[in-house]
A = this chain, B = another copy of it.
Amino acid sequence: MHLHLSTWAEVEQFLQRSRVIVVPIGSNEQHGPTGLLGTDWLCPEIIAREAEKRAEILVAPTFNIGMAQHHLAFAGTISLRPSTFIAAISDWVRSLAGHGFEKILFLNGHGGNVASIEAAFSEIYAESSFAARRAGVALKLCNWWDLEGVGELARDLFPTGHGAHATPSEIAITQWAFPDAIKLADYAPLIAPSGPIREALDFRARYPDGRIGSNPGLATPEKGRALVELAAQSLVRELEAFGSETQPD
């Protein structure tokens, strides 16, 4: 069940059965010479969509712009500041918790989002903690590449050249989902350099074509399919486990 294709009455009924919702969250940012700008929000959206075909879960609209300040020197990147990101996540959570959702899982597609999402969770919880009341909602961050088995599969598929940004895993997933948007390029060097992440101009100087440590040329749509299927199955289990978790008194 997709929230945006449902009516309010249908959601009200869903809440009789379950208090769990998954929010795909990512970023719109450069992904090297061949990666789509939407890669990081498309991957969790694709995985959530496949999971929705397999089980009765509720998928929220995709939170498609995240924290990508370090990619801003490459055209097409759109970033929120962490403070804006935190405020927006808070509003999403307050909206959903107000309807009675008690477990909100953010399925994340961008490593650069992790710190700000966790900071947002703490900002939300802090409101309850300062007031000495229960939050009434449990928040969980889950990167799609950390879903059960997915990391192992990625290492099997790409024993070298996986890297940290514009990885063959994420490129493969979007190739499978958008076969008409597969791009080709010569990568030089084949495996991109690695190093620290700072502000945008520093980033572009270190990583001239945008990749970090990766060889996206290893991606194929078929490998993408395998990753998505496994991730979707693991996501369903993750949501079940999260949903059945009880709060201590």
Contacts and interface: CB of A to CB of B under 8 A. Distances in A.
B7 A201 contact: no
Contacts of A112: 122
A131 B8 CA distance: 19
A76 B37 contact: no
B8 A74 contact: yes
Contact of A12 (B38, B75, B80, B96): B75
Contact of A78 (B32, B35, B60, B134): B60
Contacts of A202: 134-135, 247-248
Given A38-B4, A138-B198, A129 B70 contact: yes
B181 A135 contact: no
Interface in A1-32: 2-12, 15, 28, 30-32
Interface in A195-220: 196, 198-202, 205-206, 210
A146 interface: no
Contacts of A70: 122, 125, 129
A132 interface: yes
Given A35-B7, A65-B61, A129 B76 contact: no
Interface residues on A, range: 35 or more
A42 interface: yes
A70 B127 CA distance: 11
Contacts of A74: 8
Nearest to A72: B129
B7 A28 contact: no
A53 interface: no
A135 B199 contact: yes
A128 B202 CA distance: 10
26 contacts: A3-B38, A6-B36, A8-B37, A8-B77, A9-B75, A28-B61, A38-B61, A63-B65, A64-B64, A67-B119, A67-B122, A72-B95, A76-B99, A78-B95, A79-B126, A82-B123, A82-B126, A83-B83, A114-B115, A119-B119, A125-B200, A128-B199, A128-B201, A129-B199, A135-B202, A206-B248
Given A5-B181, A7-B30, A69-B129, 9 more contacts: A4-B36, A7-B32, A38-B61, A82-B119, A82-B122, A84-B84, A84-B87, A84-B88, A114-B115
